[in-house]
Structure 1
Amino acid sequence: MNLLNNTHILKRIAILISLIIVSLILWNTYIFFQQFKTEQRIKMEILGIAQKELANADLNADITLQDKIITTNKNIPLILVNTDGNIESFQNLDADKSQDPLYIQRQLEKMKSENRPIEISYKGTNKQFIYYRNSDLLNRLTYYPIALILILFLFLSVIYLFYSSNKASETNKLWTGMAKETAHQIGTPLSSLLGWIAILKMEKVNDSYVSEIEKDVARLNTIANRFSKIGSKPELKEENIVRVTKLAFDYLASRSSKQIRFSFGASKEQIPVLLNTELFGWVIENLIKNAIDAMQREGLLTVQVENTAKKVKITVSDTGKGMPKKLFKQIFNPGFTTKK
């Protein structure tokens, strides 16, 4: 129990550490994005200052630095607008699409929505505004946190599935252990019952009584074997599936209400297949029991075994009330029942 508790604690610690690591990655990415965006704005402000100094420079002034600042901008799209809102120039827009004034206008509106403009004041009252858009690199970076979040969700989903499967595995192991222990407990009195049957035969007790007791003891032995095989790999042998199906059918038919009519049919007397007789018989018995319950102890129950080219089809049909069509896909799920 302590080992199980420690395992659960370690799992929770691992999940917590993973969440912290991924959260730190997301936070650092956000900080990096904001810093990159700030640096881009500073670059635009420097470009605006260079534009202003270039416009206000004397004819003999050295404008090499200002010109270099303006011309080295190769990745940030920008549009220069005057105080009247008219576009005076633009830079780093698509060369072909820039021939269309509507395209430039749409780009301007997009720039207005993304960033505050850089104001350039010249001598006198003249002003210009630099509108700019995030660079392609920055735009690509905006998708990076989204990708990380998706990775986070995927990561958490994998952890959840792993944790759930482990828990289901532990539950299955528990049920398997209980089933095997039940089989062991049943086996102990069975040995005694077999001894008592031998004594009854020696005492010349009515053979019909002893025969019925033997059948029930054999039945208990079959049930014990079924429980002992839960969780183990089934051992398959070549058996006549018609005979095995008929045995399960006859056993329940002889112990059911006389108001139920039973009918068994097979396309062949011998259909050899690889199966585990005890587990297969268990399945057939459950199907027949469900059919009997559905008919409320009165009606017709039919079992038909058909051999096709590659498969054997076994049909268990009854004249019961049936079930809603929406439940058809659930009827073979473990634990599913319509009984109340």
Structure 2
Amino acid sequence: MNLYTNKSRWKWLLFSSATIIFILLMLYSNSLIKKIAEEERRKVNVWADAIVYKAELVNHTDLFFEQIRREEKKRASFLAQAIQKVSEAGLNEDITFYLDYISSNSTIPTLLVNQDGTIDCAVNIDLEYQKMQHIDEIKPFLDEYDSVRITYYKNQYMWVYFKESQIYTNLKLVIDNLVQSFFQEVVINESFIPVIITDSALTQVYDFGNIDTTQIETPGQCRQLADKMAKAHPPIKIQLPNRGTCYVFYEESGVLKRLRYFPYVQSLFIFFFIAIAYMIFNFGRKSEQDQVWVGMSKETAHQLGTPISALLAWHELIKDREELQDIMLEVKKDLSRLEMITQRFSKIGSIPELQEENVIPIIYDFIGYLQTRISSKVEIRIMNQSDEVILLPLNRYLFEWVIENICKNSVDAMDGAGVIIIEVIEEGNYVHIDLSDTGKGITSRNMKTIFKPGYTSKNRGWGLGLTLAKRIIETYHKGKLFVKSSIVDRGTTMRITLKKGD
């Protein structure tokens, strides 16, 4: 028992050490991952704050450009008024100021068109339009121009077409590029944050980044994704030129998500590694034990063979002496017993051959032999009739060894006084052999431990009897041996379960 207890303590010590190392590793990994995750979240927060700031910057720029546009429109309107003033001025009226203003125009696109549609003058317009002679040639683009009709003599009049200056057009391109640049900076971010920018109704996607396009093919999918993102982070509400209210939806980056699940994946891998290592260790240990069992059994059978042969020879020489007949009869039984033990050890060292046997007479024969060699205060009862026939594939020598080990343990547990009951029960395709005693019983904690090599509750012995019995039943006979029930100070029932032959 001390051997097994010490081994068990070492196993628990190693397991505890491995557990502590694993916990420390997990704590360090979690701490490191937590710091990385916090850094990722900080980047997300900085990115979100930057979106708001950039949106405000775009709006301020747009307001500034709008003021410039109004001023440019005023200039264009004033130019048209100056031209009209010049055309309506009297002979004695000073129009030098208006003429100077008209001649200084270098930015406002202006067309002077006669009443028949002929273009008399074109300034500050694109080169492709300057070659055109008639207003109909640029008719598709006239919607961009404001116009003023100027009568300069009786029924004679002309049209002045004008629009915002080229400066304003360039500024409009700048603001459009600025908005597009804002979108690009939002959706293409260093943190690989999934982003979608939608209108206020969540039906139109202006731009997106780090998102599978199949997730936003329809307005319904867009709204569903937006709702999912909104549960993780409130959307950022922004105002953008020419688009009005917009919403920026975002969620954690793929890196942050993977970091969150990393400890669990790491734990799973470590668990599988430990489990596989433990299985390999157990397999190696069991293989080594098997080799020890085989070697020990064969060597024992070999060592017993020589003295038994000599004893048999001496028995043959003196068996006919009349005064020794009774003694020689018992010697013959013990020699037969030694031969059977030799057979057991020789067979446990190799795969035994199983034969169809009637288990009832085997039990009766062995108990008849055992009863005379144990305390007379121990009664062994067999509940089955001796003429019953229950066939099982058995190796007789090894099966008797199992019965012997269990019965001897029962005798020891009863301190040499009590009752052992053996009952064979058929149940379908299986046969149960119950061996009950009135001994000390086994605690629930030790019900599996008793089958471990080296476990014993006695001061003498190696603790191998039940280990051998379990090996014979489960390894060689493909059955089961276990503690069916046990009550401390009242007794124990061991059960052997074997399958009938085909």
> TM-score of the superposition, structure 2-length normalised?
0.47
Moved more, 327-336 or 283-292: 327-336
Structure 2 equivalent of residue 165 of structure 1:
283
Structure 2 equivalent of residue 16 of structure 1:
none
Give a deviation string over 1:226-257, Cα, whole Å, max 9, x none: 22223532311011111111122112101112
From 240, 261, 271, give the equivalent of 2:390: 271
Give a deviation string over 1:273-327, Cα, whole Å, max 9, x none: 1111111101111111122112222233332334444333323223333333554
Q: Is the aligned partner of 1:182 residue 2:300? A: yes
| 8 Å Cα contact 2:233/2:251 also seen in 1 | no
Q: Distance in 1 between matches of 2:426 and 2:278?
A: 44
The residue matched to 1:317 in structure 2 has which SS? strand
Q: Distance in 2 between matches of 1:142 and 1:65?
A: 37
Structure 2 equivalent of residue 71 of structure 1:
183
From 285, 291, 301, give the equivalent of 2:404: 285
Which segments of 5 or more consecutive residues in structure 1 lack a partner in the other structure?
1-25, 80-90, 112-130
Q: Distance in 2 between matches of 1:36 and 1:244?
A: 76
Structure 2 equivalent of residue 135 of structure 1:
252
The residue matched to 1:228 in structure 2 has which SS? helix
Amino acid at match of 1:138: V
Within 5 Å, which residues of 2 pair with 1:293-312? 293-312=412-431
Give the superposition deviation at 1:164.
3.1
| 8 Å Cα contact 1:77/1:135 also seen in 2 | no
| 8 Å Cα contact 1:263/1:302 also seen in 2 | yes
Give the superposition deviation at 1:51.
3.0
Structure 1 equivalent of residue 58 of structure 2:
54
Q: Distance in 1 between matches of 2:335 and 2:290?
A: 29
Give the superposition deviation at 1:48.
6.0
| 8 Å Cα contact 2:37/2:256 also seen in 1 | no
Structure 2 equivalent of residue 3 of structure 1:
none
| 8 Å Cα contact 1:183/1:227 also seen in 2 | yes
Q: Distance in 2 between matches of 1:144 and 1:323?
A: 46
| 8 Å Cα contact 1:51/1:66 also seen in 2 | no
Give a deviation string over 1:103-142, Cα, whole Å, max 9, x none: 969835xx9xxxxxxxxxxxxxxxxxxx996535234322
Q: Distance in 1 between matches of 2:230 and 2:40?
A: 25
The residue matched to 1:297 in structure 2 has which SS? coil
Give the superposition deviation at 1:202.
5.2
Moved more, 309-318 or 182-191: 309-318
Amino acid at match of 1:211: L
Q: Distance in 1 between matches of 2:44 and 2:290?
A: 59
Give a deviation string over 1:35-81, Cα, whole Å, max 9, x none: 988986886687567435413424126134432243344554699xx
The residue matched to 1:191 in structure 2 has which SS? helix
| 8 Å Cα contact 2:294/2:348 also seen in 1 | yes
Compared CA separation, residues 67 and 273, structure 1 to 2 (3 A): same
Runs of 4 or more above 6 Å deviation? 29-43, 96-99, 103-106
Q: Distance in 1 between matches of 2:181 and 2:457?
A: 79
RMSD (Å) for aligned C-alpha atoms: 4.3
Amino acid at match of 2:259: T
Give a deviation string over 1:154-197, Cα, whole Å, max 9, x none: 12321232123213322331232122211211112111111111
Q: Distance in 2 between matches of 1:163 and 1:326?
A: 25
The residue matched to 1:257 in structure 2 has which SS? coil
Compared CA separation, residues 155 and 328, structure 1 to 2 (3 A): closer
The residue matched to 1:284 in structure 2 has which SS? helix
Amino acid at match of 2:286: A
Q: Distance in 2 between matches of 1:160 and 1:329?
A: 19
Structure 1 equivalent of residue 233 of structure 2:
107
Structure 2 equivalent of residue 228 of structure 1:
346
Q: Distance in 1 between matches of 2:274 and 2:375?
A: 54
Compared CA separation, residues 48 and 220, structure 1 to 2 (3 A): same
Q: State the identity as a percent.
A: 30
Which segments of 5 or more consecutive residues in structure 2 lack a partner in the other structure?
1-28, 66-170, 188-192, 198-206, 209-221, 236-247, 460-502
Compared CA separation, residues 149 and 133, structure 1 to 2 (3 A): farther
Q: Distance in 1 between matches of 2:457 and 2:388?
A: 35
Compared CA separation, residues 205 and 33, structure 1 to 2 (3 A): farther
From 363, 373, 379, give the equivalent of 1:255: 373
Amino acid at match of 2:233: Q
| 8 Å Cα contact 2:410/2:437 also seen in 1 | yes
Give the superposition deviation at 1:221.
1.6
Q: How many residues align?
A: 282
Compared CA separation, residues 199 and 176, structure 1 to 2 (3 A): same
Amino acid at match of 2:295: G
Amino acid at match of 1:260: V
Structure 2 equivalent of residue 211 of structure 1:
329
Q: Is the aligned partner of 1:315 residue 2:315? A: no
> TM-score of the superposition, structure 1-length normalised?
0.66
